[in-house]
A and B are shown apart, each in its own frame.
Chain A
């Protein structure tokens, strides 16, 4: 049986139990964090790299985690930062190219052997990629993960009101995308 977040946090503070507790933490959160990252980056291989960076950042930063937020919130925050950093670096590397990063992500998704969706699901991903990065993040967290606005506020540091507005705009843009496609 998995320990609770609180139990895990206590074990992570004990030097002799730290490594074992972190191993449990990886098994508890790896899937949720992977899908959080994957929805933004789309490619499996890149998501795998970002997930590894996320856990290694968490491992190296354990001493800095004072428990002001929940363990899961802290991990989500690291994963989000790592994802945004990855996308920024990709954008910088891609600066001389004619295609923007979103086009590259879409091309990678079309070629990715780990995409098993339908044509309409591919269209939805295309529509999501037209959104600004932060709006895309909010849409993915709310639409696919059904994370509450309060939890999102803790992770992203944006007010609940702003998050609701952001999600509303995102939905409108996606609906417009589909309407324009007709």
Chain B
């Protein structure tokens, strides 16, 4: 394609970002929640304790709603490549197509096939088979993450391919394609993120009910399990993220420079904590820096050389303003999560985990933090690999379909409206289910009202528990 309409391109990009950013919220919750349900049902089978099956039944209803939203927002993805990114589809189909086909064959069918039994079958198939169904759904969510992240990683760090005479990427070595250089890091980072996201939702709901009733058995259990996750997995995630970053330096240096807000290549580079990267002026304004720390983090040496955006020609640079700030949001939230996890260990040791309302209030506020961190992380990696769809090989502006502006504009507008309506309702229903206590307790609270901003604010302002 030698000509393209830049408005159509922009709209197609906006549409893709919108549909995928909304979609990613649901799987990042269901991947973790499916595993959590396996743990709950497994503990119930092992111990026979009622509280486990109560929590299982509590979360499975929420799971069903989230899963349905994940399914309907996901179908679009297998068609949107073609409608809006047809040139990309034609060129990468021989490689990405089979990866997606494996995802459908090994993951989607497994989830969908056993979901019915998981949701409706407990009285029909018996406990053990039902547990197997729950396990299969959880394994399905993991397989799904495996294949889709392999496909995404291949676009970031392509390997094992050749190019044929009509310009298509063709497979030469499937193992190299699947296990491309950034895939192991991205998979680990994303699955861990999904677990953390779920842990903070579960912990937040537990904390919410602890604020109303400190003796609520289900709430205590949820909160305790979630805080173990936070204490162990959040610090791990920081370590995994660092490894992922080192891998990115090697394969996508421009992305790192955009994350750091560095324009000049320099030795002993500072760490820019905050600032406003200005792509036109080619500098990061109002920068607050710590000398040499940038080099220390990126090269693990205080005087190591760190590349700047100016090392890349202007049309090859990702937008640093977006990447820089998205990265800080992600890292900031991740750090808060780890701190909460560590503090929970301290409280637990002092036997005060269920006694400190302030900590519970923080947990309520942090409940959605995983979703923000996940979306911020995806912005870092996806905006950071621009201007390419297949890194270094196929430009975004050469990937787009020959569709007309009104077609993309109209579908984008409808997507925005429909998603706000449909998923707005869905989230409202989920918050309403979360407002019901997981196990009966004292005093009973009305569950018809969902957890909303007003009720959160009034709980935060509630001083009587201090």
Question: Is B truly associated with A?
Answer: no
